[in-house]
Chains A and B, each alone.
Chain A
Amino acid sequence: MANRFTKTVKNAKRGLSFSKKFKHRLLGSLILFLVLLAVCTLAVWWQERNFQGSWLDALWSVLFTLIGQGEFASAPRTFVGRIIVFLLSIFGVALFGVVFAEVMQRLINSRLKEMLGMSICKFDGHIMICGWNERGPHLIRQLTASGRQIAVIAEDRPKDLHGDVFFVQGSPSDREALIKGGIMKARAAILLWDPNLGDDDSRTILTGLAVESMRPEVYTVMELHNPENEHYARYAQVDDILYTDSLIADITAMCTHYEGISSFIRDILSTSDDGHSFASFDVPSNFAGRTMRELFEHYRAQGVLPIGVIVPPEGGTEEAPAAEWRSRVNPSRDETVALPMKAVCIVKNNG
């Protein structure tokens, strides 16, 4: 027993030293290991069993020999069998150690890289959050509730980041960080104002420039504080701009004016609960020339509540980005539908 333990420890040490030498040669080691297994299995099946029974039993004996267990490992019947046990005890264990150590190292490296935000995102059609602030966790909750994959780029890993969210450490305006975050395959990018990157909108605008120059077709939503900076964001071709302070001020004023309306507002603005929220749909082409009443009845029949439409700007081209379209709340029901148009509805969330 003591001898066997000493033998196993020695073999492991040999394996470890061997694995250090062949640290980055996983494929070569794996092929050598498989060749050794195949040759030994064939030899055992031939010499020890005279091709009796299944070759799988021979393989089983060979595998057990690697860990010093089994009848064949302790008492080989033939001379070739003894040589095989000897070879497996030295080279087999060493090669097994190399392969095992390399696989484990790769797994640990990959996890570490992911934790430190150094690996490359493989998501497709995901949403990137560039920058981080207090609204980040709420945003992640909202987006994950609607089934979106998310990649976050920030200077530091946010505390308690959801395990399914891919994290890239770096400046969100940095090209390399954006590539690691999968910008080339992303559907949309949310550019958050990040207090770690300065107290004005400039870094957010730089991030917008970087994103739009790398992939203009990504739908970008930027958070701005100062409306005077909007023209910079427009130069950068950012698709949509939200003024956080102004929106909160609007909601606060409304809730002060109309007592008790806040629960309603919260309900229809959140998509992560089981209440309701806004949604917009492209108006089907068969509604062109028909009345708004018919269109609204169509959506009512589907169980959603239509409240308005959004249409391309007057005098603008039909190709104007959707973010520049005009909103028409509660339009006259006798009005004629002219495409392109999006219908805005209140829909029940999936919960």
Chain B
Amino acid sequence: MSCDFEGHVVLCGWNARGPHLLSQLLSSGQRVAVVADPLPEGLPEGVFFVKGNPSKQEPLIEAGLKKAKSAIILGGAEDAQAILTGLAVESIAPEVYSVMELHDPANERYARYAHVDDVLYADSLIADITGICTHYEGLSSFIKDILSTADDGHSFASFDVPEEFAGRTVGQLFEHYQSQGLLPVGLTVPPEEAPELPVAQWQSYVDPPLEESITLPMKVVCIKKN
């Protein structure tokens, strides 16, 4: 039986972070299909499960990848399996936004060859957070709050800058979002030397000068209430 979801998230593979990820996605109202072998323990109802190797085409198609909005490729002990899965996902549905979890930054080029949209380094991110929490006592509650979208706290969000702001200043743009109860903190823009790069490779500008002029395309990053 094939998955009849549309605009859903396909979770390719399973590891210790799977249950947390699933609860995050479900709490933000996303529908999820999981491709893994064996069946993960305690999979919630409403999640479509396909038993199989996520680097093979059939289980991915069965999970409705062609109609999915995005795919998350969870890594195992080695990055090779995740990269193979990324290749399979991108070959079946290149328009699906794919996020891959890697361990070794040296493997990023393979993920990029496979046209995976976004790559996250789990170990490096955790080390970053641990370093900050050790340096600034008490900061962990704040970081946990704004990184989680599943609780009733706050989280980061990014929005496309509306066309009417082209040529206006960053200060005016930030005032617009502040009036909506959001806290704008930065921008992401395509690199000047390669404007055609996918959005996951755009450059981030944290706390940009307010008098700077806006050139589209651009995304504004805000902190918003969940």
Residues of A within 8 A of B (CB): 127, 134-139, 141-143, 146, 188, 190, 219, 221, 223, 225, 239-272, 275-280, 304-305, 307-308, 310, 321-327, 329-330, 342, 344, 346, 348
Q: Enumerate B85-137 residues with CB–CB distance to A below 8 Å.
A: 97, 99, 101, 103, 117-120, 122-137
Q: Do A280 and B136 touch across chains, with their CB atoms under 8 A apart?
A: yes
Given contacts A135-B123, A245-B16, contact A271 B131 (CB under 8 A): yes
Query: How far in angstroms is the closest Cβ of chain A from B184?
Result: 10
Q: Which residues of B contact A255 (CB under 8 A)?
A: 99, 118, 120
Q: Do B155 and A248 touch across chains, with their CB atoms under 8 A apart?
A: no
Q: What does DSSP make chain A's interface, helix, strand, loop or mixed?
A: mixed
Q: Which residues of B contact A221 (CB under 8 A)?
A: 130, 133-134, 140
Q: Which of B120, B130, B157, B186 touches A248 (beta carbons < 8 Å)? A: B120
Query: How far in angstroms is the closest Cβ of chain A from B13?
Result: 12
Which single residue of chain A is at the shortest CB-CB distance from B181?
Answer: A330
Query: How far in angstroms is the closest Cβ of chain A from B142?
Result: 4
- B148 contacts the other chain (CB 8 A): yes
- B202 contacts the other chain (CB 8 A): yes
Q: Which of A135, A223, A264 touches B186 (beta carbons < 8 Å)? A: A264
Q: Which residues of B contact A137 (CB under 8 A)?
A: 127
Q: Do A264 and B20 touch across chains, with their CB atoms under 8 A apart?
A: no
Bound-state CA distance A256–B206 (Å) is 20
Q: Do A251 and B147 touch across chains, with their CB atoms under 8 A apart?
A: yes
Q: Which residues of A contact B144 (CB under 8 A)?
A: 247, 250, 327
Q: Do A305 and B131 touch across chains, with their CB atoms under 8 A apart?
A: no
List 5 interface pairs A-B (beta carbons < 8 Å), by A numbering. A139-B127, A249-B18, A278-B143, A310-B141, A330-B223
* Total A-B pairs, Cβ < 8 A: 242
Q: Enumerate B181-200 residues with CB–CB distance to A below 8 Å.
A: 183, 185-186, 188, 198-200
- B204 contacts the other chain (CB 8 A): yes
Query: How far in angstroms is the closest Cβ of chain A from B109?
Result: 17
Q: Which of A142, A269, A330 touches B183 (beta carbons < 8 Å)? A: A330
Q: Do B158 and A258 touch across chains, with their CB atoms under 8 A apart?
A: yes
Q: Do A265 and B156 touch across chains, with their CB atoms under 8 A apart?
A: yes
Bound-state CA distance A326–B151 (Å) is 14
Q: Which residues of A contact B137 (CB under 8 A)?
A: 219, 239-240, 280, 321-323
Of the listed residues A141, A277, A304, A330, the one surrounded by the most CB atoms of chain B closer than 10 A to its CB is A330
Bound-state CA distance A322–B206 (Å) is 27
Given contacts A134-B123, A219-B134, A252-B17, contact A264 B207 (CB under 8 A): no
Given contacts A249-B17, A262-B200, A342-B138, contact A135 B126 (CB under 8 A): yes
Bound-state CA distance A263–B131 (Å) is 19
Q: Which residues of B contact A245 (CB under 8 A)?
A: 16-17, 20
Q: Do B17 and A248 touch across chains, with their CB atoms under 8 A apart?
A: yes
Of the listed residues B24, B130, B148, the one surrounded by the most CB atoms of chain A closer than 10 A to its CB is B130
Query: How far in angstroms is the closest Cβ of chain B from A189?
Result: 9
Query: How far in angstroms is the closest Cβ of chain B from A76?
Result: 68
Of the listed residues B72, B103, B118, the one surrounded by the most CB atoms of chain A closer than 10 A to its CB is B118
Q: Do A247 and B124 touch across chains, with their CB atoms under 8 A apart?
A: no
Q: Which of B145, B149, B183, B201 touches A257 (beta carbons < 8 Å)? A: B149
Query: How far in angstroms is the closest Cβ of chain B from A341?
Result: 11
Q: Which residues of A contact B223 (CB under 8 A)?
A: 307, 329-330
Bound-state CA distance A321–B140 (Å) is 12
- B55 contacts the other chain (CB 8 A): no
Given contacts A248-B122, A262-B120, A269-B125, contact A310 B142 (CB under 8 A): yes
Q: Do B17 and A263 touch across chains, with their CB atoms under 8 A apart?
A: no
- B221 contacts the other chain (CB 8 A): yes
Bound-state CA distance A263–B204 (Å) is 6
Query: How far in angstroms is the closest Cβ of chain A from B219?
Result: 6
Q: Which of B117, B141, B149, B203 touches A250 (beta carbons < 8 Å)? A: B149
Q: Do B186 and A259 touch across chains, with their CB atoms under 8 A apart?
A: no
Q: Do B140 and A260 touch across chains, with their CB atoms under 8 A apart?
A: no
- B28 contacts the other chain (CB 8 A): yes
Q: Do A280 and B131 touch across chains, with their CB atoms under 8 A apart?
A: no
Bound-state CA distance A248–B183 (Å) is 23
Q: Which residues of B contact A146 (CB under 8 A)?
A: 131, 135
Q: Which residues of B contact A277 (CB under 8 A)?
A: 132
Bound-state CA distance A177–B216 (Å) is 57
Q: Which residues of A contact B200 (CB under 8 A)?
A: 259-260, 262-263
Given contacts A244-B126, A263-B203, contact A253 B21 (CB under 8 A): yes
Query: How far in angstroms is the closest Cβ of chain B from A128?
Result: 10
